[in-house]
Amino acid sequence: MPTVKTTYLGDLRTESTHLQSGNQLITDAPTDNMGKGEAFSPTDLLATATGTCMLTTMAIVAQRDGIELAGSEVEVTKIMSSTPPRRVARLEIFLKMKANVVLSPEQIQKLDRTAHTCPVALSLHPDVEQVVSIEWLS
């Protein structure tokens, strides 16, 4: 069974439906590529998927150890290549992590490693540079 169904609406816009939940999202071509930039672009979704995957997998691992990461955030800066072909060249990922307990150095190392090995990060082409910074807030 398909995961997502996407319809082209015209004017460089799509509407995608997550078939299991029925949730929908719109994409627009970015303003630097003939679009209106009124919604996520497909490459914005790639950046979003990478950051949310890191945050989610860290939360899964933390939850197994009785740690809650609610209030943690991720900011992703997407940098497109300056030469053809047009592609995402670099993702700068900044995780601001909060935990409900004081973490040991071993726990922090385990969660940091989890971020770097999330399924989306591992699925990206090696030419996409991923620069990950993690700040643990108290």
Full pLDDT tens readout for the chain, 138 residues: 999 999 999 999 999 999 999 999 999 999 999 999 999 999 999 999 999 999 999 999 999 999 999 999 999 999 999 999 999 999 999 999 999 999 999 999 999 999 999 999 999 999 999 999 999 997
Domains of the chain plus CATH, in order, are 4-33 (no CATH), 42-137 (3.30.300.20)
The secondary structure of residue 2, as a DSSP letter, is -
Rg (C-alpha) for the chain, rounded Å, is: 17
Residue found by looking up tokens 């726990």 in the block = 107
pTM above 0.75, yes or no: yes
Q: Under DSSP, is residue 41 helix (H, G, I), strand (E, B) or coil? A: coil
How far apart CA 130 and CA 127 sit, in angstroms, is 9
Burial status of residue 93 (CB atoms within 10 A of its CB: 0-12, 13-18, 19 or more): buried
Q: Are 79 and 118 in contact (CB under 8 A)?
A: no
- What is the Cα–Cα distance from 121 to 130, expressed in whole angstroms? 8
